[in-house]
Structure formats: C-alpha cells, structure tokens
Amino acid sequence: MHLKYESQLREPLVYGNKTYAQVTEDIVRPIEAKPSRLWYIGFFIAVALLSFGAYSVYREVTYGIGQWNLNKTIGWGWDITNFVWWVGIGHAGTLISAVLLLFRQGWRTGVNRAAEAMTIFAVMCAGQFPIFHMGRVWMAFFVMPYPNSRGPLWVNFNSPLLWDVFAISTYFTVSLLFWYSGLLPDFATVRDRAFTKLRKKLYGIASFGWNGSTKHWQRHESLSLVLAGLSTPLVLSVHTIVSFDFATSVIPGWHTTIFPPYFVAGAIFSGFAMVQTLLLIVRKVFGLTDYITIGHIDLMNKVIVLTGSIVGIAYLTELFMGWYSQNKYEGYTFWYSRAYLFSPYGWSYWGMMACNVISPQIFWSKKMRRNVFVTFFMSIIVNIGMWFERFVIIVTSLYRDYLPSSWSVYYSPSIWEIGFYAGTFGLFFTCFFLFAKYFPVIAVAEIKYVLKRSGESYKPEFDAIEAQPLESFVHDHAHAH
C-alpha cells in the first residue's frame, strides 16, 4: 500500500473543503449548465475564423500554391513555420500527461486533461500545413507506403519528410488513445449524473460501459503507465524528427547538430505558454480556481523559465559556431541575415530574442510567477516569440542562397497564407470551446485520487505525523503493508 502522507511543505493541490461528491459537482456542473454568453461569443469568433481559413484553403486548392507568396528560394514560408509552431504547442500536453506521470509529479492531475486536449487539437492544426502544401492535396495518400500500380514505386524511407509522416500520425494516434482512455471513467461519472435522455444516451456511448470495477481500474492504471512510458520517448522523437527536416539538409542555418534538443526545448517552452493561456481562461470562466491553483501556475512558469533559457543557450551556441566554424556561408547567415538588426529580416531575429530569451527571465521572481496577469501576458509573448523563431530559421536561411542572382525579393505572406493560419486558430479554438463545454476539463477521478493526500482540508491530519520523531514514523508507516 502506498504511503498516504505528503509533507506539509507542499502546497495543497486542491483548495477548499472538498468531499468526493463536491469534486464531481464542481467539475461536472459546467457541462450540465447552459453555456454562458461569453462562451457563445468566443465560439462564434472561432467558427468565423475557421470559415475564413476554409475559404483560404479553398483558394489554395483551386488555384494552387501560387495563392501564397512563396517564391524562387523561399519554398517554405508561413506554412511550414506554422506547422512547426503548432506541433511544438502540442508537446506540452504530452509532457504534462506522460513525463510528469513518470516523474510522479502530483500537480499534473489538475491540468493534464486540458493540456492533452490542447495537444490533440494542436496536432490537428499542424497536420493541415504539410498536407495542403502538397498542392495536389487529393493525392496526399501518396505518402503512405502501400502496394500501388506505379511500379510499385514506394515512398523514400530514408527521407526526413517521410519520417515526419510517421512521427506526426503516430503522435496523434497515441495522444488520442491516451486522452480518451483517461476520459472513460469521467464520462461514466457524467453519464451517471445526467438528467436528460439524450445526455444519458450520448455519454453512455462515450463511456463504453465503464463501471469502476477494481480489476478495470488495475488494468487502467497499468495502461496509463505504459502509455506514458511510450509517449515520453515519442514526444521527444516527434520534435527531433521535425528538426531533422532542417538539420539533415545542407542549408546554412539549418545544418546544425544541436537542432533536436533545441527544438524539443522550444516545443515544451511554447506548449507550456499555450497551456497557461488556455487554463488561465478556463479556471476563471468555469470557476475552477480551487483545482487549477496559483501553485500550478507557479510550477508551469518555472518550466517556462527553464526551457526558455535552454532555448537561449541554443541561440548563443549557434551564433558562436557561426563564427567559430569560420565557414563563410554559416557566418553570413548567422551574423548578417539573422543577428544584424538592419538586415532585411533582422527585426524578426531580435523580436525572437526579446520574446523568448530576455522577457521570460522575469519568472525568476516568485512574485511574478504567481501573478495571473503577468503570466497571461507572458504566455502570449512567448508564443509570439516561438513563432518568430520558426520564421527566422526558415526564412532567413532561404531568402539568400549561394547564388546572388537568385536572391529573392522580400517575402511577405499573401492574405490567403494569413487566412490559412487564422483558420487553424479557428479550428483549434472551435475544438477547444466544444471540449470545454462537453468534456470534463479536469480529470475528476484523478483529483479524487489525490484529494485526501493533497487537499487543503485534509492536510492538517498530517500535522501529527509531521511532529513524530523519525524512528516512530518509520515504525508506523514504512512497513505498513
């Protein structure tokens, strides 16, 4: 049996005087209540953006990639920037749900459900970009290896672009399974409280007949643990492979061996920022401040300052290597195209530096980490910065190649490129609004599991244990099985 004791030094994970029934009530009530006016306004804006995105994609499919301002040397522009950005956002969800589960970090329980949902929606958005960049999107299935009538001419298994296909689709599938298997018990909770026939029917179907049997829970725990163990290397592999898209090429600025760890750190950085943006809204709108506490926000800000600094080290390492290698092309890319403020895209490099490296340093201060408004503002700044990072990597390496005669004119996106990006925001928020309305945004069963150990009203029970001398504590608890 596990030691049911947690140090008083740890902040409670659940505030207020809660019982199990109260936990269910608090989290499930927003699903049962009618959505607020604010929800309708937000949902309408999201759907409007999605419609504009759909029209932009329609133009691109009908008239071709020429609808975008890609040119002679800039074959990858906003689309791949957005792809990498969205995939990166997704990583925080898996980090919270899987890596923190393996590290036994109890605080993940309050935020994992929403973060995993964010992962799934972000990967859905990311996938749109490479698919539509193919141009003839109706032939997108050509990327799958299947016996075909063209030889069979197979796909190139040695290409990082094909690794991407496998990595992203596996990542999406595994995240979805992990998320949904965790949702089953909570859907059962919603089903058993439901008061309308339609609700009972739909949540009954969605809960797959879950009844809370001890044997099922035992298997469920085993499943979660192994899926977490699989997701952890998976999430690292996904952004590593995304970075291989660049790192295996011979383009100055892309051809660097630090890309995999640098991309993974950046992904976690931007993902946590997006989790903050979403959860700060959710906890307020649905009144869940007892479950998504200031303590959670503080901890996530610590992750942000850590990963932001790792990313900063990577930028400086790149600059150093650009000089130290004494390779003229590398030097030109890093010291002129990027780091020189008055070069054509110098503004984007310094925007990235300011947003990703300099500004997150305020989170060394505990007061700032625990300030909701500063956190919300910074979460937006970080995501802008991380978008700039991908833009810098892609565009500043491409716009001037080895042959000055083919140097491109200044690249700026067309309205349909911007529309496509805005459309993925629409898709993301449409999904997220529906999720927040119809799904338990916090894992109900997991909160109940930590409640009697980490709940504010249960912690005083540990005072007696805390006051015990070590010998008697060991005697009472360490051999309690």
Partner 1 sequence: MAQKKFVVGCFDDEKVLFPAVKQVRTAGYKIKDVYTPFPVHGLDHALGMRETSLHTAGFIYGITGTTTAISCISWIFTKDWPLNIGGKPHFALPAWIPIIFELTVLFAAVGMVMTFMWLCQMAPGVKKHHFHKRATDDLFVMVIECTEKTNAEDLKALLAANGAVETDIQIAEDGWWFGTYDNENENLYKQVTN
Q: Among residue numbers 148 through 177, which ones bind partner 1 (CB under 8 A)? A: 151-154, 156-158, 160, 162-163, 166-167, 170, 173-174, 177
At 78, list the tokens: 């906003």
Instruction: Give the Cα separation of 299 and 106 in Å (integer).
Output: 12
| Integer Cα distance of 344 and 238 in angstroms | 32
User: Whole-number minimum distance, CB 414 to partner 1, in Å?
Assistant: 34
CB neighbour list of residue 161: distance below 8 Å, 6 or more residues apart: 245
| HSE (side-chain half, CA atoms, 13 Å) at 245 | 23
Q: Which helix (H) or strand (E) holds 120?
A: helix 108-133
Least distance from partner 1 to the Cβ atom of residue 175, Å: 9
Shorter beta-carbon distance to partner 1: residue 186 or 417:
186
Give bridge partners of residue 455 from the DSSP assignment.
Answer: 14
Minimum Å gap between C-beta 360 and partner 1 is: 31
CA angle 281, 90, 291 (to 5 degrees): 35
- What number of chain residues touch partner 1 (CB under 8 A)? 77
185-193, 252-260, 461-469, 470-478 -> range binding partner 1 (CB under 8 A): 185-193
Can residue 230 be called a binding residue for partner 1 (CB under 8 A)? yes
Give the residue with the Cβ less far from partner 1, 283 or 448: 448
Helix/strand/coil for 9 = coil
Out of 5, 16, 59, 204, the residue judged to bind partner 1 by CB under 8 A: 204
Q: Can you tell me which of 139, 198, 341, 464 binds partner 1, judged by CB under 8 A?
A: 198
Structural contact between residues 114 and 279, judged by C-beta atoms closer than 8 angstroms: yes
Query: To 5 degrees, how large is the angle CA 65–CA 67–CA 73?
Result: 60
Q: Contact with partner 1 (CB under 8 A): which of 11, 192, 401, 456?
A: 192
Give the span between the Cα atoms of 242 and 23, in whole angstroms. Answer: 40
Site for partner 1 in 6-45 (CB under 8 A): 19-21, 24, 29, 32-34
CA distance 195 to 192: 9
Q: Which is nearer to partner 1, 36 or 105 (CB)?
A: 36
| H helical segments located in 286-371 | 294-324, 328-331, 346-353, 366-369
**103 versus 208: smaller Cβ distance to partner 1:** 208
| Least Å from the CB of residue 220 to partner 1 | 7
Q: Which residue lies nearer to partner 1 by CB, 316 or 480?
A: 480
Listed ranges 302-310, 329-337, 446-454, 471-479: which one lies at the site for partner 1 (CB under 8 A): 446-454
Q: How far is the CB of 312 from partner 1 (least distance, A)?
A: 28
For the chain, what's the residue count? Answer: 481
Contact between 103 and partner 1 per CB under 8 A: no
> Least distance in Å: CB of 14 to partner 1?
13
Site for partner 1 in 210-229 (CB under 8 A): 210-223, 225-227
Closest approach, Cβ 193 to partner 1, in A, equals 5
Start-to-end Cα distance in the chain: 6
Residues 243-282 that bind partner 1 (CB under 8 A): 244
According to CB under 8 A, which residues from 324 to 363 bind partner 1? none
Q: What are the CA-CA distances from residue 207 to residues 24, 110, 175, 439, 476 (Å)?
A: 16, 21, 18, 11, 40
Distances (CA, A) of 47 to 22, 57, 310, 418, 440: 34, 15, 37, 16, 22
Determine, following the binding rule CB under 8 A, whether residue 234 of this chain makes contact with partner 1: yes
Nearest distance from C-beta of residue 8 to partner 1, angstroms: 20
* CA separation for the pair 367, 415 (Å, rounded): 41
Q: Which stretch binds partner 1 (CB under 8 A): 88-96, 189-197, 253-261, 381-389?
A: 189-197
Question: Which uninterrupted H or E stretch holds 459?
Answer: none
Smallest distance, partner 1 to C-beta of residue 109, A: 11
Q: Which residue has the tokens 């009144």?
A: 287
Restricting to residues 375-394, which ones interact with partner 1 according to CB under 8 A?
none
Nearer to partner 1 by Cβ, of 414 and 454: the residue is: 454
Task: Name residues contacting partner 1, limited to 132-151 (CB under 8 A).
Answer: 145, 151
Task: Return the structure tokens found at 298.
Answer: 């503080």
Residue from the set 446, 454, 455, 459 that interacts with partner 1 by CB under 8 A: 446
Q: Which of 115, 206, 274, 352 binds partner 1 (CB under 8 A)?
A: 206
* In the complex, least distance from residue 94 CB atom to partner 1, rounded to whole angstroms: 12
**Shortest Å distance, C-beta 3 to partner 1:** 10
Report the residue from 237, 327, 359, 408 that binds partner 1 according to the rule CB under 8 A: 237
- Those residues with Cβ within 8 angstroms of residue 300's Cβ, 6 or more apart along the chain or in another chain: 111, 272, 275, 276
Per-residue DSSP letter, 141: G
Say if CB 438 and CB 32 are below 8 A apart: no
Site for partner 1 in 294-323 (CB under 8 A): none
Least distance (Å) between residue 459 CB and partner 1: 16
Q: How far is the CB of 445 from partner 1 (least distance, A)?
A: 4
ω into residue 152 within 30 of 0, thus cis? Answer: yes
